Amino acid sequence: MVIDGAKKKHFFKGVVVSKKMAQTATVMVSRFVKDDRVNKIIQKKTKFHVHDPLNETVIGDEILFYEGKHVSKIKYMYFHQKINATASNNE
């Protein structure tokens, strides 16, 4: 749904693989594509740096995030919500 000329957000789903930077989570997104040359289905993976201002995520969480305005040179994705949280303790 588009309201007053606003763009519709494209959401991605991925797993947090790193939390070494402040307010940033590195998230891996997997997708499957068919390779016509060898007639096989291949899993491709892409890493995104996601802006997480409240540091809500931990490694292993499955999250939903969307594309937006650049925060830095490599960070243009924004955290939306957790889908599945890991059973680890928050320290």
Q: What is the pLDDT of residue 43?
A: 96
Distance CA 47, CA 74 (A): 11
Mean pLDDT confidence for 68-78: 94
Q: What is the pLDDT of residue 86?
A: 76
Distance CA 23, CA 18 (A): 12
Instruction: Determine phi and psi for 54, rounding to 5 degrees.
Output: -100, 5
CA-based angle 12:27:39, to the nearest 5?
70
**Per-residue pLDDT tens over the stretch 5-59:** 567 788 999 999 999 999 999 999 999 999 999 999 999 999 999 999 999 999 9
